[in-house]
């Protein structure tokens, strides 16, 4: 299974949750599969999906799922100790690890070689780290959501991309509709 297939399989699980999606093809594929106001697409800034997701999770109560890639986590390695030391049980980091920089032509990453991102996450102090196959990702993600524990999932899948259009939504529109939906859900929780 490639990342596109993993995303397709987890759509029913994530569609009612707030998602921060990694730059490039992951965001484009998610946008193509199931555009939602609850999706925050990163149009630039490689590496920060996990940091944005953690900031969101700390600031409010809704569950936040950051969909990241192995290349992006390698770019922002400092994020893992920050996540480990600032627990937010409404935060899930799903690293779709295809061992390659997918958006730039599938150049291999070190995560596809000797470096284990799940071991790195554990060494950084993350307590709930699950490495799983692409096929098991949907059920592992569902368990993580139900556990109400901050969880890092490393989903090992094949490299390769699907041809999808670029996102033409204005960044301010993406942000505005995401924030409006977040305010609406949080106010419903309080009423």
DSSP string, 115-158: --HHHHHHHTT-S-EEEEETTTHHHHHHHHHHHTS-EEEEEE-B
Nearer to other proteins, 35 or 170 (CB): 170
- Least distance in angstroms from the C-beta of 14 to other proteins: 17
What tokens appear for 75 in the block? 């770019």
- Least distance in angstroms from the C-beta of 26 to other proteins: 16
- Least distance in angstroms from the C-beta of 135 to other proteins: 30
Residue pair 36/16 in contact by the 8 Å Cβ criterion: no
Nearer to other proteins, 86 or 104 (CB): 86
From the list 174, 177, 180, the residue with the least C-alpha distance to 31 is 174
Nearer to other proteins, 14 or 54 (CB): 54
Nearer to other proteins, 158 or 184 (CB): 184
* CA within 13 Å, CB half, 79: 23
Residues that bind other proteins (CB under 8 A): 20, 40, 42-45, 47-60, 64, 76, 78-79, 81-82, 86, 171-172, 174-175, 178-179, 182-183, 186
């Amino acid at each position: 299974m490639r990342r596109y297939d993993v995303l397709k399989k987890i759509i029913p699980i994530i569609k009612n949750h707030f998602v921060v999606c990694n730059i490039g093809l992951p965001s484009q594929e998610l946008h193509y599969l199931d555009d939602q106001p609850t999706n925050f697409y990163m149009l630039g800034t490689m590496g920060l999906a996990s940091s944005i997701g953690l900031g969101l999770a700390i600031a409010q109560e809704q569950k936040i799922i950051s969909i990241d890639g192995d290349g992006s986590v390698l770019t922002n390695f400092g994020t893992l100790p920050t996540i480990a030391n600032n627990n937010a049980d409404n935060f899930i980091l799903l690293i779709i690890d295809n061992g390659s920089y997918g958006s730039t032509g599938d150049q291999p990453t070190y995560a596809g070689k000797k470096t284990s991102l799940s071991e790195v996450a554990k060494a950084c102090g993350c307590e709930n780290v699950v490495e799983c196959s692409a096929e098991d990702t949907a059920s592992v993600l569902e368990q993580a959501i139900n556990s109400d524990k901050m969880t890092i999932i490393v989903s090992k899948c094949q490299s390769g991309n699907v041809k999808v259009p670029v996102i033409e939504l204005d960044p301010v529109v993406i942000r505005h509709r995401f924030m409006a939906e977040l305010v609406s859900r949080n106010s419903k929780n309080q009423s």
